[in-house]
Amino acid sequence: MVVIREVSAKSIFDSRKEKTILVSIKTNSGKTFKASSPSGKSTGKYEVHCYKKSLEDDIKTIKQFKEYFSEEILDEYEDLKRVEDILDGHIGGNTLFAFESAVLKAIADEKKKQIWEIVNPTLREEKEKKFPRLVGNCIGGGAHSEVKGKKPDFQEFLLIPEGNSPEKSFKINKEAKEKAGFILKKKDKSFKYQKNDEDAWITSLNEKEVLDILKELDVPIGLDIASSGFYHRGKYHYENPMLKREIDEQLTYVGNLIKNYNILYVEDPIQEEDFESFSKLLKKCPNSLIVGDDLTVTNSKRLKKAIEMKSINAIIVKPNQCGSLIEVKKVCEIAKENNIKMIFSHRSGETNETILSDLAFGFQADFLKCGITGKEREYKIKRLIEIEKSLK
């Protein structure tokens, strides 16, 4: 059993060189456990706030709570509910996620088990274990690529290798991304091998030109359109080339892209308020994954609404979007009951934290989206490979 004796927190820098939170707990075993939270740049309107008032305020607040945990015995995943009952309303989503992640690490250490075994205690005994397919950001645009001049309006151009081996998929994605760089050099005169927030290639090409390149790589293709980022006053405002699309035109355009490029996965093709148009696109393209992120923000109520309206057949799970790992479990259970594919996802501002991989495997997610290259991204992929090797 785990009892928390001390709690502390501090700010650290994420992969964007912006501040995020690291939480440390000291337990009755005398050991210290730490966990950090990522931060998103392209955030959904309905996400919880990262911090109650500010990062500095959350750091002060969480230190005041150490006495509140001295009587709490934490022994399993569900005991995180006790943590949430104490901290509810006092801290933001980033801080709660980091705190609960540290607690999970402490419970796993006490039981001499892997973190994913605390998430899913019966998984080791199950014959059929699946590893999430890797979803890697190869070429970037949108809010993740801060450049002067042209860039794709869509935020991410993704590669999704087939198969049940993270190690093989990692190799495929790295080789394909390198090849994409060579092709970009030929087709984009301004290309200089620069990378964006998620270590994806920066280009001045538009989405069709990028998709033409991805077709050459012979790996299943995905898109994160992040359309809320360029939707305002009832229209989708494209800049490369400059044009405005009404909702019907956006639906037709995205539907044609899915068909013409055989796109497996399309995230946030419609702005975050429009459940109905998501539903129309899913009806039109039932064999592709129509993925909710800003639409659903790892929130069980919004997921239920999306299911009722038949808006999606896949959901992004970002633990710090809701903060609560109890809510994450609830979202995963609802998704499984309704045959909604689950994609556990990193954020654009990442840290060296690897618990995302344990959560993805523990909840038997269908996909893990965490980039292709870049130190903070690779830590997560390598953790998944470590789990893969441990089970052979």
Residues annotated catalytic, as ranges: 198, 318
Count Cβ atoms below 10 Å from residue 43 Cβ, excluding itself: 19
Positive or negative torsion for Cα 156, 352, 385, 40: negative
- Work out whether strand 367-369 and strand 221-224 pair parallel, antiparallel, or are unpaired: unpaired
Q: How many whole angstroms separate alpha carbon 71 and alpha carbon 81?
A: 15
Tokens linked to 363 = 């909840």
CB distance 153 to 211 below 8 Å: no
- Length in residues, the chain: 392
Q: Is 37 left (phi over 0), alpha (psi -120 to 50) or beta?
A: beta
Closest to 289 measured CA to CA, from 327, 262, 319: 262
Q: For residue 146, count CB atoms less than 10 angstroms from its CB and return exposed for 0-12, middle for 13-18, buried for 19 or more.
A: exposed
SS3 per-residue string spanning 112-146 = CCCHHHHHCCCHHHCCCCCCCEEEEEEEECHHHCC
Contacts of 166 (CB under 8 A, 6+ apart): 131, 132, 134, 368, 381, 384, 385, 388
Q: Which whole-number Å values give the CA distances from 255 to 43, 49, 157, 266, in the listed order?
A: 24, 33, 16, 10
C-alpha dihedral (127, 328, 225, 163), degrees to nearest 10? -10
Give the chain's count of helices (H) and strands (E): 13, 15
CB distance 222 to 267 below 8 Å: yes
